[in-house]
Amino acid sequence: MDYKTLNEALRNNTSPITLEECCGQRFIGAGLSDKNITIHGVPGNALGAYLNGSTIVVHANAQDAVGDTMNEGKIIIHGNIGDAAGYAMRGGKIFVKGNAGYRAGIHMKSYKTKVPVMVIGGSAGSFLGEYQAGGVIIVLGLEEKNKNIIGFFPCTGMHGGKMFLRSECKDVKFPRQVTARLANESDMDELKTYLIEYCDLFGYNINEVLASPFTVVTPDSNNPYKQMYVEN
């Protein structure tokens, strides 16, 4: 079944839906509201693009642009995801058990009362949170041993939102327009609210996850984003 036929069937179905043997079909769940979709196999690019309140669960890996510009709902991935996950998302949640590719959370933003959240259980590639304008990105590195849990050039152009990294990030080079510091008690309380659901979904002990040090990254108001481009 090609992706156009598949997506038309999804739009016209009001019951919970299970897709078997999915193999690269693009745009699954694009723009859908009030649907529950379970996927066995690997969906193609732009899974849940413009999602508007549905829940999508994938019992495998997913490709690029998961949750592109999503507005509301949940996308739960029991494997890894490709590049540019959560591009410009302005609401909803993306939970990933495994790793994410390059540019996860690029241009993520908040919208009115909506605060998007993306939790990555493994590692994230380079340019994590590029131009982040809002929302929360969390990288846990749960399966990573003796390596950085994020790639090169994190937070490039970040001017809003917040990032939690389960690491002291001693070897990470952050850009000048952000502040990176160890999480305090208030930060950990906030973090716990995001991780309760994640740990329930994937079978982790939340106290064990929170027992490690976390680095919190936020924009630096004393060194704003515009100074990257404007001479004083």
Strands (DSSP E) along the chain, which ranges? Answer: 17-23, 36-42, 52-58, 72-77, 93-96, 117-120, 133-139, 160-165, 178-182, 215-219
Which tens digits make up the pLDDT trace of 19-59? 999 999 999 999 999 999 999 999 999 999 999 999 999 99
In sequence order, the 6+-apart residues with CB closer than 8 A to the CB of 126 are 102, 103, 150, 151, 152, 153, 154
pLDDT digits (tens, 9 = 90+) for 200-216: 999 999 999 999 999 99
The answer, as to whether pTM is greater than 0.75, is yes
| pLDDT over 80 (residue 145) | no
How far apart CA 45 and CA 176 sit, in angstroms, is 33
pLDDT for 195 beyond 80: yes
pLDDT (tens digit per residue) in 59-105: 999 999 999 999 999 999 999 999 999 999 999 999 999 999 999 99
Quote the CA–CA distance of 232 and 91 in Å, as a whole number.
35
**Cα separations (Å) of 12 from 20, 31, 40?**
18, 13, 20
User: What does 180-208 look like in DSSP terms, one character per residue?
Assistant: EEE--HHHHHHHHHHHHHHHHHHT--HHH
Quick one: fold of 3-228?
A: Pectate Lyase C-like (2.160.20)
pLDDT at residue 212, as a whole number: 94
Each domain of the chain, given as residue ranges in start order, spans 3-228
